[in-house]
Amino acid sequence: MKKILVAEDEQDILELLDFTLQHGGYDVICVSNGRDVMETVEKEKPDLILLDIRMPFLSGLEVCKLLKSDPKTKEIPVVFLSAKGQKSDIEEGFEVGAIDYLLKPFSPDFLNKRIGEILEGVA
């Protein structure tokens, strides 16, 4: 079973993501801030990381930059899931190394489909 690390600071959205991804057949680890992503990623070795942009301690952009600069984590696909949908926000997400940038609100079916495509290498 593929493991996904989800970082989202809004509890209701985090619970919805957890439920959605588990329903999609994934093992899900949930954290609520960027610092916890960095503490969890090496221990859990996720197959994919789903990040919000706005989070406490470290933003999703900062987390992605750190992950992509570390040889141990740079190959883990990072997907942003954010309400920040300006063209410049999306471009910045890709510039720091994300493989995709999805917008909130999201369709649970689309999210699982897209995560599956990325994990299968269809990205």
Question: In the chain, what are the domain boundaries?
Answer: 3-119
Q: How far apart are the first and last CA of the chain?
A: 19
Per-residue pLDDT of the chain (123 residues; tens, 9 = 90+): 999 999 999 999 999 999 999 999 999 999 999 999 999 998 999 999 999 998 888 899 999 999 999 999 999 999 999 988 789 989 999 999 999 999 998 899 999 999 999 999 855
Considering the domain 3-119 in this protein, what is its CATH number? 3.40.50.2300
Whether the predicted model's global pTM rises above the 0.85 cut? yes
In order, the DSSP letters of the chain are --EEEEE-SSHHHHHHHHHHHHHTT-EEEEESSHHHHHHHHHHH--SEEEE-SS-SSS-HHHHHHHHHHSTTTTTS-EEEEES--SHHHHHHHHHTT-SEEEESS--HHHHHHHHHHHHTT--
